[in-house]
Amino acid sequence: MSSATLRTLGLVALGGAALALAETYLRLRTTFVVSRDGAVLEQNAGRLVRYTSKGKRLVPNARVVIRNHYLSKKDVRMDVNSLGFRDVELTPRKQPGELRILALGDSITWGDYLQADEVWVERVQRHLGTALPGRIVEIVNAGVGDTGLKEELDLLEETGLALAPEVVLVGFYLNDSRPPWGFPEEVGNPGWLRRHSLLADRIYRAAKLRRYLRRQGQERFAWIRAFPKLDWADDRAAFESLVALAKYDWGSAWTDEAWVALAGELSRLQTLSRRHGFAVAILAFPVSFQVYAHFLDDAPQRRMAREAAARGFAFFDLLPLLRAHAGEDLFFDQCHPRERTNDLIGVEAARFLRETYAWR
């Protein structure tokens, strides 16, 4: 064998070893989804999330583990029932004395970064059940990540109404007027290589993301680059600048345009509630900047309170509660609550529901 051939084989072997090391590193340090038998799948490989003409849905009966979630760094067990909800199996006919609530929301409600009993939905259920001995309390987690109010109401009509909830509990976040971020749809339906190699998937995603940013522009991510440089906690003008930079995300809730869209969906929800006989309660989640600022800016929450009151919806603003705990580490990022935070929310939201509806 010639020296040139040996060098070529050596380079091939070296390259293969480098690829293997990169693959191993990704499996140890990045987020991905595996089936229960351990077969490696890239995130959202059709086993956990699917895309429909009306947005993202969880795959019914999915049984997967999210490895090393990028927020919590946990391995999260994800069990989805036959209706496509992250919850136990349910039947349309309720048990005698059962109180059934359907919780709608985005990734804060879905809680894919935490175990099911650490998410605010389960914490509300536990605390409400304790306060109502003798009642069966079931709060169904119908959250799906990267959705807005329109997609959540689509899901309510498609599947949620079949459960005949007494209350629909909307976990509202400040970007719920915005359409879902389009990039994830561009990387759906992966082939065999991307399903089995995290390295191949990351390279593909990076290329797609560069193209997406060139087409969509950088503005929707401008606030992420800016907030470490702004004195948003002490300077109201800096806070307002951050809000303006986040207008394609959570900052949209400070714009009149967002409330035109939200008002339409809230009226749709009102029509559904009258037609199907359920009450509506809205639980408003803040962005972390509102919680940690040394002054109060609650304009979106006050706007939602007015919209809710106009339609006869109950409303609970979580901002005062979380600001009272502002000395604690409450969030994984700008919006996703930690386990302890979800329990705080669970206690107070359970109290709010009990007092609002006077359940016995």
Assigned domain for 232 exists? no
- H-state helical runs in 83-235: 107-110, 120-131, 149-158, 183-186, 192-196, 198-216, 222-226
Contacts 24+ apart (CB under 8 A), 267-270: 267/311, 268/153, 269/153, 269/156, 269/168, 269/170, 269/311, 269/313, 270/311, 270/312, 270/313
Question: What is residue 337's DSSP assignment?
Answer: B
| DSSP-assigned beta bridge partners for residue 102 | 140, 168
For residue 91, name the pLDDT band (cuts at 50, 70, 90): confident
Assigned domain for 325 exists? yes
pLDDT at 215 over 70: no
Over the stretch 97-119, which tens digit does the pLDDT of each residue have?
A: 899 999 999 999 999 999 999 99
pLDDT at 129 over 60: yes
Average pLDDT over residues 137-154: 95
Assigned domain for 211 exists? no
Q: How far apart are CA 106 and CA 103, in angstroms?
A: 10
- Look at 152 and 194; give whichever has higher pLDDT: 152
- Give residue 236's pLDDT: 98
- Give residue 185's pLDDT: 46
Over the stretch 275-292, which tens digit does the pLDDT of each residue have?
A: 999 999 999 999 999 999
- Give residue 359's pLDDT: 80
For residue 324, name the pLDDT band (cuts at 50, 70, 90): very high
- Lowest model confidence (mean pLDDT) among 26-30, 293-297, 324-328: 26-30
Domain count within the chain: 1
Q: How far apart are CA 225 and CA 245, in angstroms?
A: 10
For residue 5, name the pLDDT band (cuts at 50, 70, 90): low
Assigned domain for 302 exists? yes
pTM given for the model: 0.83
pLDDT at 321 over 90: yes
Retrieve residue 169's tokens: 């509990």
For residue 200, name the pLDDT band (cuts at 50, 70, 90): low
- Give residue 109's pLDDT: 98
- Give residue 276's pLDDT: 97
Assigned domain for 44 exists? no
Nearest partner of 26 among 149, 152, 177, 201, judged by Cα = 201
- Give residue 43's pLDDT: 47
Q: How far apart are CA 288 and CA 286, in angstroms?
A: 6
- Give residue 40's pLDDT: 47
| DSSP-assigned beta bridge partners for residue 283 | 171, 316
| DSSP-assigned beta bridge partners for residue 315 | 282
- Give residue 182's pLDDT: 46
- Look at 307 and 56; give whichever has higher pLDDT: 307
Q: Where would I find the beta strands (DSSP E) of the chain?
A: 32-35, 40-41, 49-52, 55-58, 63-67, 76-79, 98-104, 136-141, 167-172, 279-284, 314-317
- Give residue 222's pLDDT: 86
Query: Domain limits at 145?
Result: 92-177+249-360
Assigned domain for 345 exists? yes
Assigned domain for 234 exists? no
Mean pLDDT of the chain: 86
- Look at 188 and 85; give whichever has higher pLDDT: 85
For residue 195, name the pLDDT band (cuts at 50, 70, 90): low
Over the stretch 27-67, which tens digit does the pLDDT of each residue have?
A: 555 555 665 555 444 444 567 888 787 888 999 999 898 88
- Give residue 183's pLDDT: 42
Tell me which range, 92-101, 182-191, 248-257, 286-295, is most confidently predicted by mean pLDDT: 286-295
CATH number at residue 312: 3.40.50.1110
pLDDT at 128 over 80: yes
Q: How far apart are CA 285 and CA 74, in angstroms?
A: 23
* 8 A C-beta contact, residue 245 and residue 226: yes
Nearest partner of 307 among 103, 140, 149, judged by Cα = 149
Assigned domain for 81 exists? no
- Give residue 271's pLDDT: 98
Retrieve residue 95's tokens: 């048990």
